[in-house]
């Protein structure tokens, strides 16, 4: 299948879109600050109110929006290419659910109130546990269906434990905090969250970037890919560990943000042609644009109500799949 638009042009347009949305994210907020005042405060060494707002509130939010979106888009494209399943998404391996469970434990036990970084650190620990469990259950180099089943099992168990924590929570305020955190948000994030999560996301990106050629070969089947010299066990390890490092870090600081890793590759696949390797970079940029746009939207739609980011992405993602169902039915007729 030939792409309707040249690949370099597509990447250039997506990059421009991310730059524009990142700039808008820096300029939009409840504080009415002018454009030039905002940009000058962003690079100034002053300690006035405007500089603090720009450097400690808006800048971390914009950075996390772009990096978390890129993580979700890239990992979704990598998983769909490796599993050869268009319904694969970052939460399939249990990483998001287990990272959420780690954060829930931090809130439930009160550790997050004593130590502010306990929540993201516990969430990262949950992501590591998810990888170990999935690899233990599926085994190295296991068939894709075994990997999917292991991920579903870990996701279900982590979800059950999260529900149990909510059910047994003696403090209604803790239960409310757990629910709000699980809805996903970038509000009130600081540069500390950036320094904690971005290195892990970057390591995950490097791992996922190495599997592009292998994903192209896997379109011919596992036997054909192996005959071309690709070690499927190594490819699986890179996909699983890369997804775990990046998505685990993203979930640790922002909570669960759904549908981005599922929807973005679907939208961009017709534009990049039949090469899964090309979809990786495009989905990373597309995911960054989607999360940035959604985060801007929650600030504009109802700023006083604090609509959660994960709620908005779900509201947009679910109708997209309804449209996809009707489109598929028409094509089959």
SS (H, E, C) the chain: CCCCCCHHHHHHHHHHHHHHHHHHHHHCCCCCCCHHHHHHHHCCCCCCHHHHHHHHHHHHHHHHHHHHHHHHHHHHHHHHHHHCCCCCCHHHHCHHHHHHHHHHHHHHHCHHHHCCCHHHHHHHHHHHHHHHHHHHHHCCCCCHHHHHHHHHHHHHHHHHHHHHHHHHCCCHHHHHHHHHHHCCCCCCCCHHHHHHHHHHHHHHHHHHHCCHHHHHHHCCCHHHHHHCCCCHHHHHHHHHHHHHHHHHHHHHHHCCCCCHHHHHHHHHHHHHCCCHHHHHHHHHHHHHHHHHHHHHHHHHHCCCCCCCHHHHHHHHHHHHHHHHHHHHHHHHC
pLDDT confidence band for 149 (50 / 70 / 90): confident
pLDDT for 160: 93
**pLDDT, mean of residues 261-287:** 91
pLDDT for 20: 96
pLDDT for 71: 96
Among 123-127, 141-145, 282-286, 309-313, the range with the most confident prediction by mean pLDDT is 282-286
pLDDT for 1: 54
Residues 6 or more apart whose Cβ sits within 8 Å of residue 203 = 242, 245, 246
The token pair at 122 is 């516990």
- Mean pLDDT over each residue of the chain, to the nearest integer: 85
For the chain, the domains span 7-332
**pLDDT, mean of residues 14-29:** 92
pLDDT per position as a tens digit, 9-19: 999 999 999 99
- CATH class of this structure's domain 7-332: mainly alpha
pLDDT for 142: 59
| More confidently predicted of 144 and 201 | 201
Residues 6 or more apart whose Cβ sits within 8 Å of residue 226 = 232
The token pair at 172 is 């209604």
How far, CA to CA in Å, does 216 sit from each of 52, 220, 254, 294?
47, 8, 32, 31
CB-CB neighbours of 268 under 10 Å? 21
| More confidently predicted of 88 and 48 | 88
pLDDT for 31: 67
pLDDT for 135: 80
The token pair at 286 is 């597309």
Closest by CA position to 184, among listed 273, 84, 251: 251
pLDDT confidence band for 291 (50 / 70 / 90): very high
pLDDT per position as a tens digit, 32-86: 676 777 777 777 767 777 777 788 888 999 999 999 999 999 999 999 998 888 7
**In percent, how much of the chain has pLDDT > 70?**
95
Among the listed ranges 134-143, 145-154, 312-321, which one has the minimum average pLDDT value? 134-143
pTM of the model: 0.90
pLDDT per position as a tens digit, 186-242: 988 888 999 989 999 999 999 999 999 999 998 888 888 888 888 888 888 899 889
pLDDT for 296: 92
pLDDT for 332: 61
pLDDT for 177: 81
Asked if residue 3 has pLDDT above 70, the reply is no
């Amino acid at each position: 299948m030939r792409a309707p638009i040249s690949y370099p042009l597509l990447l250039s347009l997506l990059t421009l879109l991310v730059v524009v949305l990142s700039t808008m994210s820096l300029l939009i907020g409840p504080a009415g600050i002018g454009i030039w005042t905002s940009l000058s405060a962003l690079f100034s060494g002053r300690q006035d109110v405007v500089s603090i707002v720009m450097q400690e509130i808006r800048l971390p939010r914009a950075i996390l929006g772009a990096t978390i979106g890129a993580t979700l888009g890239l990992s979704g494209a990598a998983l769909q290419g490796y599993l050869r399943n268009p319904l694969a998404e970052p939460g399939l391996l249990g990483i998001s659910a287990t990272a959420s469970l780690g954060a829930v434990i931090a809130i439930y036990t009160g550790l997050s109130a004593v130590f502010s970084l306990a929540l993201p650190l516990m969430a990262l620990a949950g992501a590591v546990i998810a990888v170990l469990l999935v690899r233990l259950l599926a085994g190295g180099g296991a068939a894709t269906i075994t990997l999917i089943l292991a991920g579903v099992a870990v996701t279900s168990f982590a979800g059950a434990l999260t529900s149990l924590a909510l059910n047994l929570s003696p403090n209604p305020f803790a239960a409310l905090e757990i629910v709000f955190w699980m809805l996903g948000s970038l509000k009130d994030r600081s540069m500390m969250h950036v320094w904690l999560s971005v290195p892990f996301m970057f390591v995950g990106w490097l791992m996922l970037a190495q599997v592009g050629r292998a994903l192209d070969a896997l379109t011919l089947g596992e036997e054909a890919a192996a005959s071309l010299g690709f070690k499927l066990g190594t490819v699986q390890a890179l996909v699983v560990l890369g997804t775990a490092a990046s998505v685990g870090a993203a979930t640790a600081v922002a909570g669960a943000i759904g549908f981005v890793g599922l929807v973005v590759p679907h939208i961009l696949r017709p534009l990049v042609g039949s090469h899964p390797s090309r979809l990786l970079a495009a989905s990373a940029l597309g995911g960054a644009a989607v999360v940035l746009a959604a985060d801007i939207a929650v600030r504009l739609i109802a700023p006083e109500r604090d609509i959660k980011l994960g709620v908005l992405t779900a509201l947009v993602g679910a109708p997209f799949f309804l449209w996809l169902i009707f489109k598929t039915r028409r094509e089959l007729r």
